[in-house]
Amino acid sequence: MHDLILKHTLANALKYGKADGKAVLAKVFAENPEARKKAAEVVKMVGEEVFRVGGMDASEIEKQLRKLEPGMLHKPGKKVTVNEIPELKGAKKGKVIVRIPPEPNGFLHIGHGMAFTLNRLYAEKYEGKIVMKFEDSNPETAGLEYYSGILRDIKWLGIHWNELFVMSEHFGELEAGAEKLIKNGKAYVCTCKEDDIKKERMNKKAGPCRMRKKEENLSLWKAMKAGEPWVLRWKGDPESDNSVLRDPTLYRVIDKVHPWTGVNHLVYPTYDYGSAAADGLLGITHVLRSEEFLMRAPLHTEIIRSLGFKPPEYVHFGRFNLEGVPTSKRLIKPLVEGGKVHGWDDPRLSTLMGLRRRGILPKTLEELVKNSGTDRGASLIDHNILHSINRKLLDPVSERYFVVREPVKLKLEGVPEGRKAHLEKIPGNKDAGFREFTVGDCVFLEKSDYEANKGKVVRLKGLYNVKLDGKKATYAGEEIVRPIIHWVSLPIEGELLMIEEHAGAGDGELPEKMKSEKVLAENGITFSNSITIQMERLGFARIEGRRPLKLVFISK
């Protein structure tokens, strides 16, 4: 029975970072139904093993599981397989040009990050080029603060572009293209009211303006550029089942100064025209984007071809979303503006700023992208999968340190004098160095450890055994006993932004809650070479500040 409980405890801890007693119990009963007859005894044994395994780091858990039941190392439940991205149609080495096309109306989120990473992977695969392309055609939504923030996020993702293209800097070229479409009978000025245009498109009917001659259209276009509030429309197919092709708007008049150029251009391109025309100008060979743009591909193809450029290959994939967390800017913005989160970099958010602050690595997003590839249909990213991949990447590079929450101070009695704790910074990696720290006349334990072991003998990890007796910790020998707990002596004070599941979250709330805690930490942490650390028995954290110490919880 012991081995059965132990293997499931180890497997659960390896998968999620910390074993869950209920989950382990369910596995035990499923494999051995007879165990239900001794349920009380089994529950107690599971609790003891969960507590004991909680004192191990990931490498020790994996080592024990490999020894006890190696087959379970390859059965982590919801298996994560990392695939290579599929071939791109029409792609040739050295000839591929892709683009990273953010709109500067908000900060980037995980969906952008994964989509842009996919573009980078294909550029690398085919030794191609990347164009960083700001699609800032709307002066009413573009914000100066977003340009620099987006570039910072793109650099964090590890994307290095070959060309920076800001659409608003090329409005003259785009307007020249629009005039070419008018002269070739591919576009016309519409002076109808907005409601009439909507009805006309809904009913699949051609409007009266469609029949104008190009000379009149050119004259009206000139008037539009002077501020007449009309629209320039594509001469498509009013009867098409694809509503995008029913004479969509290419240009509209907006009487507003563009924040980037500082000029009131009056006529501004719509997304459909601006994005497509710019792709043609840039010679983009492959457009990789989410499936929501699928119906726009025929229109964009025709616009680019009519401007005299070769249309790119279009590849559409499922939209990337983080389970239970608002992903679109439309949903995140109200949370920020309403004060429900602490800014765009709140570590509970799916923004790249938030993920970076949380300690999620760009490589984690890359592995998720390789796993999802260019599959159609929305990709809902499980929090457990995200953190499982991230944890595997963090584990071999994160130095270990003791951090104590809710500290209880105990005076040491009868302990060997001059004893120092000597521990590896990263277990199994002697090149990473060692932690060595002096023990004072007191130790601090976590309240939960103290309460669970009053009057018992415990082992202070890396030191010796003590018996917890009131406000004293009395020396109790050197032979290793269980449980092994973490501790601090002569510590430094710090702050931990602790993030935990919010079981009672309602509509419009995040599935995680965050609170600031005062903690005591091993003093060597301020000299750590790591940006991320593993707080032994607690989980991973990112060092946000060293003096004073500030930690942000990543995951268990």
> Region 301-323: what's the mean pLDDT?
93
Q: What's the pLDDT at 126?
A: 97
pLDDT at 78: 41
Query: Are 406 and 493 in a shared domain?
Result: yes
- Confidence tier at 44 by pLDDT (50, 70, 90): confident
- Neighbour tally for 131: CB within 10 Å: 21
Name the residue with tokens 């969906």: 111
Instruction: Judge contact between 18 and 539, C-beta under 8 A.
Output: yes
Token reading at 410: 């105990």
Give me the phi and psi of 399, to 5 degrees please.
Answer: -70, 145
Looking at 317, 346, 381, the residue that finishes a domain is: 317
Nearest to 405 by CA among 444, 351, 354: 444
- How do residues 316-370 score in pLDDT, each as one tens digit? 988 888 877 887 888 888 888 888 898 999 999 999 999 999 999 999 999 999 8
Q: What percent of the chain has pLDDT above 90?
A: 70
Mean pLDDT of the region 390-401: 95
The amino acid at residue 271 is Y
Question: Crossing angle for the helix pair 383-394 and 362-372, nearest 10 degrees?
Answer: 130
288 and 174 within one domain: yes
CA–CA distance, 7 with 3 (Å, rounded to integer): 6
| HSE, side-chain direction, 13 A CA sphere, residue 241 | 0
Do residues 152 and 258 share a domain?
Answer: yes
**Which pLDDT tens digit goes with each residue over 163-210?**
999 999 999 999 999 999 999 999 999 999 999 999 999 999 999 999
Q: How many domains, in total, are found in the chain? A: 3
Residues 114 and 52 in one domain: no
- The answer as to whether 515 is a domain residue is yes
What's the distance, CA 189 to chain centroid?
43
CA atoms of 397 and 258, how far apart (whole Å): 46
- CA dist., res. 127 & res. 168, Å (int): 29
Tell me, yes or no, whether 212 lies in a domain: yes
Residue 355 lies in a domain: no
Task: Specify whether 69 is located in the same domain as 101.
Answer: no
Are both 124 and 263 inside the same structural domain?
yes
Q: Helices (DSSP H) in 253-399: which residue ranges?
A: 271-282, 297-306, 329-337, 352-358, 362-372, 383-394
In a domain? residue 375: no
The contacts of residue 191 (CB under 8 Å, 6+ apart) are: 209, 220, 230
Which has more pLDDT, 74 or 73?
73
The answer as to whether 389 is a domain residue is: no
**Looking at the domain assignment, is residue 278 inside a domain?**
yes
Mean pLDDT for the stretch of residues 480-503: 92
**For residue 361, is it within any domain?**
no
Domain of residue 36: give its range: 2-74
Q: Are β-strands 434-438 and 420-424 bridged in parallel, bridged antiparallel, or unpaired?
A: antiparallel
Q: Which residues contact 230 (CB under 8 A, 6 or more apart)?
A: 189, 190, 191, 220, 223, 224, 253
Q: Is 271 helix (H, G, I), strand (E, B) or coil?
A: helix
Average pLDDT over residues 516-532: 89
Measured at the CA of 251, the angle between CA 246 and CA 257, to 5 degrees, comes to 150
| Alpha helix segments (H runs only) across 157-250 | 171-183, 194-202, 214-225
- Whether residue 202 sits in one domain with residue 297: yes
What is the CATH number for 498? 2.40.240.10
Asked which of 286, 317, 348 is the last residue of a domain, the reply is 317
